[in-house]
C-alpha cells in the first residue's frame, strides 16, 4: 500500500487541485477535469442552460485518448447538495441516453422539435441528481477518432468507472453520497458489469487515501440480463395469459412449444455452460428464428404487446423522431457544447449494435455479476413493465429466481405480492436480502414513458429504502 501511495504522489497527486463546486463552472466554455490515477482519462464539462430552468444542468465529454463519451448532468429539484446520485444509460447496444432524458425519465420531454423541451413533472431528478450518458463511443453525441471503437461491455465498463471516480474527486460535495447505476433493456448486460467495475475500482481509491464511491444499488429496467431465460420466455408471453390473452394462434404456439426443450438444452450447452462462439451462434440463429422472429412478421410493437408499431424506424415511437430532429438543430448542439467532430445525431447506432453482436457480447449473460454485487451488499432492483415482450417480466422473474447466491432460497420463498400507488394496484413485487423484483402494470419496455407516476413512485421508494 505504501508503494501505491508513493506512485500516486509521483503521478501528480501532490499538485492535484479539485474544481470544488459545480456551480462555479462556466456556461460559455469547458472546464477540464483530470486525475493522477487516471492519466489517460479526462473530463470536459460546462454549464448548459436548457431543459429544466428550476435546476442547474451540465454537459460535457469524457475523453479517453481517442474516445469521447457525451454526458448530461442535472441537479436534483429537491436538495442537490444532499440527494443521491443516479447514473443512467440507455441500452441497445448502441442507443443514446437522449431517449431516457427526453422521452422517459428526464426533467423535460421533447414532443415537438421546433417547440423544444417541455418541463416534465415526474422526472427522476425530483429527488436525485442524475447523469445521462451516451455510451459506448459512436452512440448519440459520443464519437471516436482514428476508427476507434468499443465492441464489448467489459471494455465499456472501465471507461465509465474511471469517469465516476474523476467526477466525484473534483466535486467534494458528492463524496460519500449514495450512488445508483441504472439502465434498461441491454442495460441488463451493462449495469451489472459497470457496477462491478466501479466496486472493484474502489480498492484502488482506498489504497491511495481517496474516498471510495458509495455504490449503493444497481437498477435494471426491462433488462436483458439472462438472454437464455428471456429467449424461452417469448413463448409464455405470446401463448399464455402471462401479460395479456394469448396473441398467437394454437398452431403457432404448438410449434413454438415443441422447440422449447431443444433450445433450452442447446443454448445451455454451447452458450451458458461452456461458451463456444460458433456453436452458440448456430443455436441462437435457430432459436431466434423459431421463437423471436415470428413476432416481428406481424408488425406488432415488441416494446408493448398491446400495441402496433407506429412507424418504420424500428423503434415504433414517433416521439423518438421528434427528439432526433431537435438534437440535430444547430442552436441546440451549440448550447449543449456538442463537438464539431460529431455528425448527424441518431437515436440508435446499428454499427455499434452489429459490433457488439459480432464480438459475442450479446450472447453473454450477466447473472454472475448481479450475484456478486448482492454478496457484497450492493442492492439490486429489477423492475419490468408488464406489457413488454422484448425483455419481459417472465424472463426477468425467472432469472431472479434461478440465480445462484446466498439469498436464493430466501428470495424464492417470498410470494409475489401487489404493490400500490395512490390506493391502486401498480404491479407485483418480491424482495429479500437486497434483491427486489417488481412489475409495473400497464407499462411496456420503456416503463417511465408509459407509467411515469408509478415509475417515479417506485424509484423514490427504492432510494429512500422503503419497501416497494
Concatenating the DSSP letter of every residue in 311-348 gives SSSSS--THHHHHHHHHT-HHHHHHHT--TT--S--SB
pLDDT tens digits, one per residue of 25-54 = 888 899 888 898 999 889 899 999 889 989
pLDDT tens digits, one per residue of 54-110 = 999 999 999 998 999 999 999 999 999 999 999 999 999 999 999 999 999 999 999
Average pLDDT, rounded, for the chain: 92
pLDDT at 12 > cutoff 60? no
Buried b (16+ CB within 10 A) or exposed e, 240-250: eebbeebbbee
DSSP-derived 3-state class of residue 255: helix
Which H or E run includes 277?
Answer: helix 277-291
pLDDT at 277 > cutoff 90? no
Provide the CATH topology of domain 2-228+362-464: Rossmann fold (3.40.50)
Among 125-129, 163-167, 218-222, whose mean pLDDT is lowest?
A: 163-167
Rounded CA separation 412/433 (Å): 11
pLDDT at 9 > cutoff 60? no
**Alpha-carbon distance values, 394 to 230, 308, 366, 372, 413 (Å):** 8, 21, 17, 23, 17
Q: Per the structure block, which three cell numbers stand in for 107?
A: 426533467
Q: What are residue 61's DSSP bridge partners?
A: 44, 70
CB neighbour list of residue 362: distance below 8 Å, 6 or more residues apart:
93, 186, 189, 227, 356
Rounded CA separation 45/57 (Å): 10
Q: What percent of the chain has pLDDT over 90?
A: 80
Across 291-422, where does the E strand assignment appear? 379-385, 417-421
DSSP label at 120? -
First to last CA, the chain: 42
List residues with catalytic annotation: 185, 388, 445
pLDDT at 314 > cutoff 90? no
Q: What is the pLDDT of residue 2?
A: 43
Rounded CA separation 356/362 (Å): 6
Rounded CA separation 113/177 (Å): 36
Amino acid at each position: 500500500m505504501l508503494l501505491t501511495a508513493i506512485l500516486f504522489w509521483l503521478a501528480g497527486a501532490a499538485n492535484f487541485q479539485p474544481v470544488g463546486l459545480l456551480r462555479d463552472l462556466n456556461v460559455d466554455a469547458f472546464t477540464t477535469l483530470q486525475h493522477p490515477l487516471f492519466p489517460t482519462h479526462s473530463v470536459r464539462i460546462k454549464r448548459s442552460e436548457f431543459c429544466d430552468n428550476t435546476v442547474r444542468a451540465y454537459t460535457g465529454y469524457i475523453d479517453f485518448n481517442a474516445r469521447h463519451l457525451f454526458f448530461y448532468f442535472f441537479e436534483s429539484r429537491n436538495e442537490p447538495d444532499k440527494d443521491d446520485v443516479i447514473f443512467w444509460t440507455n441500452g441497445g447496444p448502441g442507443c443514446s441516453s437522449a431517449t431516457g432524458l427526453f422521452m422517459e425519465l428526464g426533467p423535460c420531454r421533447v414532443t415537438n422539435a421546433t417547440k423544444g423541451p417541455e418541463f416534465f413533472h415526474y422526472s427522476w431528478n425530483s429527488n436525485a441528481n442524475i447523469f445521462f450518458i451516451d455510451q459506448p463511443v459512436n452512440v448519440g453525441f459520443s464519437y471516436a477518432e482514428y476508427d476507434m471503437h468499443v465492441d464489448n461491455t467489459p471494455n465499456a465498463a472501465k471507461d465509465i468507472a474511471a469517469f465516476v471516480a474523476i467526477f466525484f474527486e473534483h466535486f467534494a460535495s458528492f463524496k460519500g453520497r449514495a450512488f445508483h447505476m441504472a439502465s434498461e433493456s441491454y442495460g441488463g448486460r451493462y449495469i451489472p458489469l459497470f457496477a462491478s467495475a466501479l466496486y472493484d475500482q474502489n480498492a484502488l481509491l482506498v489504497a491511495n487515501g481517496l474516498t471510495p464511491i458509495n455504490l449503493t444499488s444497481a437498477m435494471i429496467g426491462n433488462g436483458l440480463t439472462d438472454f437464455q431465460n428471456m429467449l424461452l420466455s417469448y413463448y409464455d408471453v405470446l401463448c399464455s395469459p402471462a401479460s395479456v390473452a394469448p396473441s398467437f394462434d394454437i398452431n403457432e404456439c404448438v410449434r413454438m412449444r415443441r422447440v422449447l426443450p431443444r433450445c433450452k438444452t442447446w443454448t445451455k450447452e454451447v452458450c451458458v455452460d461452456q461458451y463456444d462462439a460458433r456453436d452458440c451462434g448456430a443455436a441462437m440463429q435457430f432459436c431466434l428464428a423459431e421463437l423471436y422472429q415470428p413476432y416481428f412478421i406481424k408488425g406488432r410493437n415488441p416494446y408493448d404487446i398491446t400495441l402496433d408499431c407506429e412507424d418504420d424506424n424500428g423503434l415504433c415511437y414517433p416521439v423518438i423522431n421528434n427528439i432526433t430532429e431537435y438534437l440535430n438543430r444547430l442552436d441546440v448542439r451549440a448550447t449543449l457544447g456538442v463537438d464539431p467532430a460529431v455528425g448527424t445525431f441518431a437515436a440508435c447506432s446499428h454499427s455499434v449494435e452489429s459490433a457488439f453482436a459480432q464480438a459475442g457480447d450479446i450472447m453473454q449473460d450477466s447473472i454472475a455479476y448481479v450475484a456478486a454485487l448482492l454478496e457484497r451488499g450492493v442492492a439490486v432492483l429489477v423492475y419490468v413493465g408488464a406489457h413488454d415482450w422484448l425483455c419481459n417480466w417472465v424472463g426477468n422473474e425467472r432469472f431472479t429466481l434461478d440465480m445462484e447466491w446466498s439469498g436464493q432460497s430466501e428470495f424464492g420463498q417470498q410470494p409475489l405480492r401487489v404493490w400500490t400507488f395512490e390506493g391502486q394496484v401498480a404491479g407485483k413485487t418480491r424482495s429479500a436480502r437486497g434483491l427486489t423484483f417488481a412489475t409495473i402494470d400497464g407499462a411496456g419496455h420503456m416503463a417511465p414513458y408509459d407509467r411515469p407516476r408509478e415509475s417515479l413512485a417506485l424509484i423514490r421508494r427504492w432510494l429512500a429504502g422503503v419497501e416497494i
